[in-house]
Structure 1
Amino acid sequence: MDYEEYEYQAFRHEVDLHNRCCAGRLWCIRDICGIICVILTWFLIMYAEFVVMCVMLLPSPYPIYSIVNMIIFNMGSFLAIASHIRTMCTDPGAVPKGNATKDMIQQMGFKKGQVIFKCQKCCSIKPERAHHCSVCQRCIRKMDHHCPWVNNCVGENNQKYFVLFTFYIATISIHALFLSVNQFIMCIKHEWKECTTYSPPATVVLLLFLVFEALLFAIFTAVMLGTQLQAIWNDETGIEQLKKEEARWVKKSRWKSIQSVFGRFSLGWFSPFTRPSPKTKLESYLYSV
């Protein structure tokens, strides 16, 4: 091993732990803004859980209505949080940092005289459709955008989890709106003591804040979900759409583009605990020349 290769291996060991925690097992972005947004997201989900369970469903005089809605809402909340954690803790497709050495270029199969693109910020060979993220401080393959709410970039490896996160948040938000409106109607028709264990003013305040939260997140996540599905359908990332970049890559068919994100059609599409088939080594490294 020559001196240049020795330096690269030492540098590679150091950067392999960059943006990672738990001895390098988990992807973790150390961004204060992102961490605050993550905590706020979890707090708002827990608040919705508290109001739905303790204010509306548990005091309800209709047991079947309560049980059915408890199962649906809790399942949606669990899947939303699981999708959020998977999006946050999954490497979005970071390009190896500092890999633009002569030996590595040869190992990757590039031929002499072949044009390659190098990122000046992270000193790495920049694959096609990759963009540098100033927050993650890495080039991300098929980077769509950096989302502070998940404290991570949305890219090639975690787009499925982000889509599921927006889908389940939109679902439980709409469900919370339905339950809140129904609760107001029940409390108006019956005495307040029969529909909740809290005082009427406290109940109104809790429900109004939940309605505001649910309406805001339902609109925001539904728009984001539609944007993501449109990008996948057209085989374009959010950055490519924003910059109106001309497609220099071979576009996949719409079905192939969907499969590249979600895998073959199955119930696993809706599970944050399954992932599409991993890319081959050739697909992972030789995106651009």
Structure 2
Amino acid sequence: MPTPSHRYRDIERTAEYLQPEKCLPPPVDNSMDKVWFIKDGCGIACAIVTWFLVFYAEFVVIFVMLLPSKDLVYSTINGIIFNILAFLALASHLRAMITDPGAVPKGNATKEFIESLQLKPGQVVYKCPKCCSIKPDRAHHCSVCKRCIRKMDHHCPWVNNCVGESNQKFFVLFTMYIALISLHALIMVGFHFLYCFEEDWTSEYICTKGVSGYTKLM
């Protein structure tokens, strides 16, 4: 026996219950509609924090680990590698944030659009009751973007955007570059620790145990 929610979903998916007369025509496209940016306070704050953390990592790697190093070749090579990865990470983050993730035109569930689909008898279509649009397969409505997104994976506050059909590659690249700079920084921290540990044992003090305790000799 189907539950009430299942029955409602079946009704929503049936063409004769689309009720196109309740949908307003989609808005006319203009130049402002081509700029995709989600005005969500939490998402904007998370995006700013993401950029701040990358720049903070840049500061620590350059001014704490590389510049104090006496090996110029080591500092130069690792500085170039880290800066390139950080630039690619921020560029991918920006593209993931300002790229339309695959939003379905809002309000396209009109009588004229449904007739243009030339539906066959018994053919099932999806309608979103929130944004009044005909949803393609694997499209889901995002309550933050207030749009249906094609092949929506999730809404990521760290990029202040949905991850969907059109910007998924930028999101994957962003996570990959962040993983690479994290791994690179971790390896440099390991070398930095070993270098400092070796310096402490070879150039500072040698401890020998005397009768009255430990004596420090240069």
Q: TM-score, normalised by structure 2?
A: 0.76
% identity of equivalent residues? 63
Tell me the matched-pair count: 178
* Correspondent of 2:172 among 144, 163, 178: 163
In the alignment, structure 2 segments of 5+ residues that lack a partner are: 1-20, 201-218
Q: Which residue pairs with 2:82 in the alignment?
A: 73
Question: What whole-Å deviation, never above 9, does each CA across 1:181-207 have from its counterpart, x for those lacking one?
Answer: 21122223336xxxxxxxxxxxxxxxx
> Which one of the candidate residues 132, 148, 151 is aligned to 1:142?
151
How far apart, CA to CA, are the structure 1 residues paired with 2:118 and 2:126?
12
Match of 1:51 in 2: 60
| Greater helix proportion | 1
Q: Partner residue of 1:93?
A: 102
Moved more, 112-121 or 149-158: 112-121
Name the amino acid aligned to 1:32. G
Output the CA distance in 1 between the equivalents of 2:39 and 2:92. Answer: 20
Which string of whole-angstrom CA distances, capped at 9 and with x for unpartnered residues, describes residues 227-247 of structure 1? xxxxxxxxxxxxxxxxxxxxx
1:24 to 30, 33, 36: 33
Relative contact order (C-alpha < 8 Å, sep 6+): which is higher?
2
1:33 partner amino acid: C
Shift in Å, 1:78? 0.5
> Which amino acid in structure 1 is aligned with residue 145 of structure 2?
C
- 1:1-289 to structure 2, matched below 5 A, reads 8=25, 11-13=26-28, 16=29, 23-107=32-116, 109-111=117-119, 113=121, 114-190=123-199
| Partner SS state of residue 141, structure 2 | strand
Deviation string for 1:109-138 (max 9, x for gaps)? Answer: 333644321100100001111011111111
Bigger fraction of residues in strand: 2
Gaps of 5+ in 1: 192-289
Q: 2: CA distance between counterparts of 1:110 and 1:176?
A: 57
Distance in structure 2 (CA, Å) of the matches to 1:25 and 1:63: 47
Partner amino acid, structure 2, of 1:55: V
Partner of 1:91: helix, strand, or coil?
Answer: coil
Distance 2:67 2:33 in 1: 43
Paired residue secondary structure (2:162): strand
SS at match of 1:136: coil
Q: CA-atom RMSD, angstroms?
A: 2.0
Distance (Å, rounded) in 1 between the aligned partners of 2:181 and 2:53: 12
Deviations 1:225-280 (A, max 9, x none): xxxxxxxxxxxxxxxxxxxxxxxxxxxxxxxxxxxxxxxxxxxxxxxxxxxxxxxx
Q: Distance in 2 between matches of 1:50 and 1:25?
A: 35
